[in-house]
Structure 1
Amino acid sequence: MNKNYDVIIAGTGAGGCFTALHLPEDMNILMITKSTLEESDSFLAQGGICVLRDENDFDSFF
């Protein structure tokens, strides 16, 4: 197991993944998460967008 990293990213959500993807490919990157990847908020959202379109949407939005 490699124990030398150029960058350590705390968080595997959208921000952490965005950061990792925009670093140079030759860097050794470690991403840490508080739980499993499948339990992260970004994974669970699956790209969905929450928006309250109008007052009649409130119950389904909430």
Structure 2
Amino acid sequence: MLETVYAACLGLELNRAGIAFGRQVATPVTCKGIPIGLGFRADVVGEDAVIVEVKAVRRMRRRS
């Protein structure tokens, strides 16, 4: 998938910039402080503070 390639390229750029990050980071999910028992894997987590979900589309359309 293109998203996997884009996430790998993002990882290279984050490395070059000296930014700590993880890929496919398991993240617990809670609702109002209560664990809901579902897992979530973030594509990229930077500096343990920013979650990035990488998405790819074939074409961008303008909104009218």
TM-score above 0.5, yes or no: no
RCO higher in 1 or 2 (8 Å CA, sep ≥ 6)?
A: 1
The structure in which a higher percent of residues are strand is 2
The structure in which a higher percent of residues are helix is 1
Q: Which has the larger radius of gyration?
A: 1
